[in-house]
Structure 1
Amino acid sequence: MVVLWNVSIRRAVAVDLPNVAGGKYKTLLGFGVCGETCDPKIVKITYIDHCYQMESIPESIPWQVEVFTLSTRAWRQPHSSNLPRKSIRFDRKQVVLDGFLYWIATDWIATDGGFRGINLIISFETTFEQFREINLPNALAHYQPYRELFISKLRESLVVLQRNEYHNNGFFVWMMEDGIPKSFTKIFTICTPGETLISVPGFRKSGEPIIEILTYLWHPYEDNS
């Protein structure tokens, strides 16, 4: 069950989730508001959990995408049929910006030696309900386990945060320009000298990053002799 809660009018609506996946599948939820009708929508995406399980899923089984619209109180198939490829895995954090939902994703491509991951961004437009792939520049596109990517919003722009693989206390911040694929520019680096930077959950309206650091408590030795 999902609860849509509008704090300003003190009203909440409970929504039952149909066909919640398990086993080889995962379920991703996104939430946004249609720019034309101001109607809240939930998008539910069911995808294969691990890339090595792709071969066990028949090609005849399509992606399962369902959209809930608050005005109708019903789940249905999206208007558009351009669903993401089965080889794509999603990160669960979303960013909502100008009527679009964005996720960081990885496209796992089968090779002779196994699988190769390509990072990209998947967007979902809330009015016409269309998915779109946004390619990342080469510095971000190649999947590496120690160069994690995270998505966020800085003021009114979409940004990608890239963990510095050579220095655990830093994130590179890349900003997308005008929604053009591969038009990402590295604008600054977030670092915390002397502290272990765990994550950057978001940014304040001023542009100041909100950071999570690991602090070690030092207890002085007490000599009782």
Structure 2
Amino acid sequence: MSDPNPYFPPDLLIEILLKLPVKSLIRFLIISKSWYSLITKPSFISTYLTQKIKNTQNTLLVRHYNNSHNKEHYSLFQDIKNTPFSLNFSTELNFPLNCQLGYFRIVGTCNGVVCLCDDLFGELKSLVLWNPSIQKITTLPLPLINPQSPHMFVLGFGGTTTTTNNNNNVDDVEYKLVRLVYHKKNDDGFARYNIPPEVEIFSINTMVWRRVIGVEVKHCLVEFMWSQVFLNGAVHWIAYDVDPANGGVRSLVMSFSVGDEVFKEIMLPEGLVSEIATNLSVMVFEGLLCVVKYQREIDGGSCEVWVMKNYGVLESWSRLYRINLVEDMEKVVGFRSNGEVLFSTKGNEMVCYDPNSGDKKDLGIRGSSRSFYVQNYVESLVLLKGNGVVSDEFLEGMGSLSMQ
């Protein structure tokens, strides 16, 4: 097939393509070699992502696991202020994977890519990247560090932009995973793992894991139910220190800068630093680093939502509000742009709570409470070019026409 319009101004063509949805761009890949080359070019993919982030309304990725059907459900919800949060106002995604034991752990999301791992009971069986927008799956090689002795590991996922030297335009985004492996101590004290852990990093560009030598991570991350958020170019986890002299515990946020591969610490305010790390959860609230503190009691307890208004500034931590965990409300799973808070419940439901009015609404979403996941999402072309598996529909479309 020849170029449909060889005299079409390239700059104008790019401007038009940047305004189109992903599904249209995928169809245009089969028009000609020149269009395929343009749309899959790293600079176009990055520019398209930047435009989407700037111009797209707030969209939430919602995941829940249906126990009765043994199926994971992923949906995109347009978070418009006056729209009730309901699956009736969402678009369900085709999730093509099956986890061996229930549902995948979502390591994190970044630029439209979801990182998933199958690691129930501490054994990592598979690790994949999935871009729902283009239905592309990239299966990653398993890590290098696999000790036979008792251990636990934590993962982090994020991306970093690189720029050209000439015009300072975004040229590419490199995606990395970082893995920390903690070896268990022989004693039964609170500090059950040796520090520092072993560290390895995986780059999507090279598709290779590499060990990191000489990096001192001085903190321990929360075991089993660890979670991460990606913000300001860095992965963040809840961490803690233990003073062996007096047994005192200090909680904090540990970060990993994806670009320069440096571990840092973010101190918590007085209202959080002495709290046991397992009672804290790191999240993102309206683009700000957020920590939720839980106070567990027989009658339900409460939670506090704290945000860091100026990133990296200890004095900028502020408590937004305190919520009583009533009627089986268990854990914060996300925030809406209108200020409502999404909770999982002990009854395996997702509910919506308004901290201003105190109103609580059942959303009709059922599933394993730990499977609930809500995070901001942006449509992208990331992973379009490279190794991986795309949808059958896309493969059939590519096979039905030849490029000349």
Question: Which deviates the most, 42-51 or 91-100?
Answer: 42-51
Q: CA deviation at 1:82?
A: 4.4
Instruction: Please say if 1:125 is aligned against 2:261.
Output: no
Query: Contact 1:104 / 1:149 at 8 angstroms: preserved in 2?
Result: yes
Instruction: Please say if 1:189 is aligned against 2:331.
Output: no
Q: Deviations over 1:24-57 (max 9, x none)?
A: 3211111111133412211111123468497996
4+ residue runs over 6 A deviation: 53-56
Unaligned 5+ segments in structure 2 are 1-125, 163-171, 349-404
Q: CA deviation at 1:97?
A: 1.2
TM-score (norm 1): 0.79
Instruction: Please say if 1:24 is aligned against 2:150.
Output: yes
Higher strand share: 1
Q: Would the alpha carbon gap of residues 172 and 56 (structure 1) be closer, same or farther in structure 2, given more than 3 Å must change?
A: closer
The 5 Å alignment of 1:27-106 reads: 27-36=153-162, 37-49=172-184, 52=189, 63-78=197-212, 81-85=214-218, 87-90=219-222, 92-106=226-240
Higher helix share: 2
RMSD: 2.9
Unaligned 5+ segments in structure 1 are 217-225
- 2:134 match: 9
Q: Deviations over 1:104-160 (max 9, x none)?
A: 011122025xx2211000001111111101111121111348x81111111201111
- 1:150 match: 281
Q: Would the alpha carbon gap of residues 56 and 201 (structure 1) be closer, same or farther in structure 2, given more than 3 Å must change?
A: closer
Query: Contact 1:136 / 1:181 at 8 angstroms: preserved in 2?
Result: no
Query: Separation in 2 of the partners of 1:76 and 1:123?
Result: 19
Q: Would the alpha carbon gap of residues 56 and 206 (structure 1) be closer, same or farther in structure 2, given more than 3 Å must change?
A: closer
Q: CA deviation at 1:200?
A: 0.7
Query: Contact 1:35 / 1:126 at 8 angstroms: preserved in 2?
Result: no
Choose from 234, 244, 248 the match for 1:116.
248
SS at match of 2:289: strand
Query: Contact 2:130 / 2:137 at 8 angstroms: preserved in 1?
Result: yes
Query: Contact 1:151 / 1:160 at 8 angstroms: preserved in 2?
Result: yes
Query: Separation in 1 of the partners of 2:279 and 2:256?
Result: 22
Larger radius of gyration: 2
Q: Would the alpha carbon gap of residues 173 and 22 (structure 1) be closer, same or farther in structure 2, given more than 3 Å must change?
A: farther
Q: CA deviation at 1:98?
A: 2.3
Q: Would the alpha carbon gap of residues 72 and 177 (structure 1) be closer, same or farther in structure 2, given more than 3 Å must change?
A: same
Query: Separation in 1 of the partners of 2:341 and 2:176?
Result: 29
Query: Separation in 2 of the partners of 1:89 and 1:214?
Result: 25
- 1:212 match: 344
Query: Separation in 1 of the partners of 2:330 and 2:184?
Result: 25
Query: Contact 1:20 / 1:27 at 8 angstroms: preserved in 2?
Result: no
Query: Separation in 2 of the partners of 1:169 and 1:143?
Result: 15
Asked which structure has the greater RCO (Cα within 8 Å, sep 6+), the reply is 2
Query: Separation in 1 of the partners of 2:339 and 2:147?
Result: 38
Q: CA deviation at 1:21?
A: 4.0
- 2:300 match: 168
